[in-house]
Amino acid sequence: MTGRLRTALAEECSRCLRAIRVPVEVELEEEALPSVDIASGLPLDMDLEPEILRLNDHHELELLAVVREGIQLAEPIAPLCRPDCPGLCVVCGEELANGPHEHPDESVDPRLEALRGFRVDEESGTE
**Interface ranges with Zn ion (CB under 5 A):** 13, 15-16, 81, 85, 89, 91-92, 94
Question: Based on CB atoms, which residue is closest to Zn ion, 7 or 14?
Answer: 14
How many Å apart are CA 96 and CA 82, to the nearest integer?
A: 13
Residue closer to Zn ion by CB (options 40, 107) is 107
> Residue 30 or 94: which CB sits closer to Zn ion?
94
Closest approach of Cβ 88 to Zn ion, in Å? 8
Judged by beta carbon, residue 26 or residue 81, the one nearer Zn ion is: 81
Quote the least distance from Cβ 110 to Zn ion, whole Å.
8
For the CB of residue 1, give the shortest distance to Zn ion in the complex, in Å: 37
Minimum CB separation of residue 20 from Zn ion in Å reads 7
